[in-house]
Amino acid sequence: MKTTALLRAPAKVNPILEVLGKRDDGYHELVLVFQAVGLYDELEFARGGEGVRLEIVESPSPSAFSQAPPGKLAADDSNLVMKAARLFLKEVLKGEADVLIRLKKRIPLAAGLGGGSSDAAATLMGLNLVFNALAPPQTLEALAARLGSDAPFFLTGGTALGTGRGEVITPLEPAPPMPLVLVKPAAGLSTPAVYQSGKALFSSGERARNFRSLLREKNLPKIAGSLFNSLQPAAFALMPEVEAIKQGLMRAGALGALVSGSGPTVFGIAPGKAAAEKIAAPMEGEGRWVFVTSTIGTGIEVIG
Ligand code: C5P
């Protein structure tokens, strides 16, 4: 029986994010496209010790461009990994358990890249493995949805449509491989602040429908020309540097660029891998985090 496990939890971007309206429960009704990208946190699970313990491990810079650290993350109960572990113990194991979780953090915090949600979903998967709990995927999805609206996506990964508050996932035709440049200003943005800024543009869901046919065509320039995010004006208003980053990426040769999720990270789609490195170089400075990567066709993976 497996008593240790190593998982990698990817980040995401959203090529389409449409806010359809406000709901009675305080959330917003969304239609959005999730795309997993090749930037990962790593989570190691080892049974034993006393109670649930979380260690956050300093991680070396994964690329020449990402000099800035991901941000300061507390290893206490405010951490989504701890929340996920407590939820798993309560709802699946129905009791206490002893486990050490080591989190190697590379995805920047408060970035719009879904790092916390991906870690939370990976925690559910990892604990399910090391406790041999055999909770089915639907149970893990339902628990993930309680931890964050975009957490269920990471259990599926690749390219997927999200509806509801983003937690109802339908896999889509995989996007063609796309070289990406991710740029995040030094500061982060709070998701609730972006939604509540009064600057979100409401839309009809038509852009997501059109995007699905573009995915089937696998036409990179058309895909890059159709990016849309209802929350982008809100991110621009709260942090003007975000708009400057988007313009910078376009000037440097990106085929398209957009704020990811509630921001402030902007992703640019590059025409090729070498072009992505060229686009990234002038974006550095002012404490920014710059990362060159590409789309991936997977979600959370067990790697050890
Ligand atoms: O679900 P999650 O905890 O990630 O959401 C964080 C916050 O983002 C919510 O409390 C809410 O303010 C906002 N949100 C929203 N509509 C969504 C998703 C998130 O208003 N569909």
Per-residue pLDDT reduced to its tens digit, 141-198: 999 999 999 999 999 999 999 999 999 999 999 999 999 999 999 999 999 999 999 9
Helix (H, G, I), strand (E, B) or coil at 156: helix
Q: What is the pLDDT of residue 286?
A: 85
Domain co-membership, 131 together with 261: no
In a domain, 136, yes or no: yes
Domain extent for 43: 4-18+35-157
Atom of ligand 1 nearest to the CA of 30: 21
Question: Where is 168: in which H helix or E strand?
Answer: strand 168-171
Cβ within 8 Å of residue 178, ≥6 positions away: 220, 223, 224, 269, 270, 294, 295
What pLDDT is recorded for position 247?
98
> Which residue's alpha carbon is at the smallest distance from atom 8 of ligand 1?
192
Indicate the pLDDT class of residue 61, thresholds 50, 70 and 90.
Answer: low
**Residue 63: pLDDT above 80?**
no
Query: pTM to 2 decimals?
Result: 0.96
Catalytic residue from among 105, 150, 184, 246 = 150
What is the total count of domains within the chain?
2
Specify burial of residue 286 (Cβ count, 10 A radius: 0-12, 13-18, 19+).
exposed
- Asked if 12 is an active-site residue, the reply is yes
Contacts of 130 (CB under 8 A, 6+ apart): 2, 3, 4, 5, 45, 46, 47, 99
Is the CB of 30 inside a 6 Å radius of any atom of ligand 1?
yes
Tokens of 252: 């440097």
Of the pLDDT bands very low, low, confident and very high (cuts 50, 70, 90), residue 54 is very high
Q: pLDDT tens digits, residue range 231-285?
A: 999 999 999 999 999 999 999 999 999 999 999 999 999 999 999 999 999 999 8
Q: Is the pLDDT of residue 68 over 60?
A: no
Which atom from ligand 1 is nearest to the alpha carbon of 26?
A: 20
Q: What is the pLDDT of residues 86-118, one digit of tens each?
A: 999 999 999 999 999 999 999 999 999 999 999
List helix spans (H) across the chain. Answer: 80-88, 115-130, 137-147, 151-156, 191-195, 206-217, 220-224, 232-238, 240-251, 273-280
CA 297 to chain centre: 14
Are residues 150 and 8 part of one domain? yes
- In sequence order, what are the residues at sequence separation of 6 or more whose Cβ sits closer than 8 angstroms to the Cβ of residue 131? 47, 92, 93, 97, 99
For residues 131 and 276, state if they share a domain. Answer: no
Residues 12 and 135 occupy one common structural domain: yes
Claim to verify: residue 65 and residue 183 sit in the same structural domain: no
CA-based nearest residue to 42, from 85, 101, 109, 110: 101
Instruction: Write down the pLDDT at residue 1.
Output: 75
Q: Is residue 22 annotated as a catalytic residue, yes or no? A: no
Task: Kindly report the CATH number assigned to the domain that includes residue 260.
Answer: 3.30.70.890
Distance 115 CA to ligand 1 centre (A): 15
User: For position 65, what pLDDT does the model report?
Assistant: 62
* Residue of 109, 195, 229, 231 to mutate, ligand 1, most atoms within 8 A of C-beta: 195
- Whether residue 184 sits in one domain with residue 266: yes
- Give the pLDDT mean for 117-142: 97
In a domain, residue 131? The reply is yes
In tens, the pLDDT along 4-33 reads 999 999 999 999 999 999 999 999 999 999
Closest CA to 14 of 294, 258, 290: 258
Is residue 191 located within the same domain as residue 264?
yes
Residue 106 Cβ contacting ligand 1 at under 6 Å? no
For residue 9, the domain's CATH number is: 3.30.230.10
Taking the CA atoms of 105, 241, 236 and 249 in sequence, report the sign of the dihedral they define: negative
What separation in Å is there between the alpha carbon of 137 and the centre of ligand 1? 23
- Regarding whether 242 and 139 lie in a shared domain, the answer is no
Confidence at residue 137, expressed as pLDDT on a 0 to 100 scale: 97
Give the confidence band of 60 by pLDDT, cuts at 50, 70, 90: low
Confidence (pLDDT) at 67: 54
Q: According to the model, what pLDDT value does residue 70 have?
A: 63
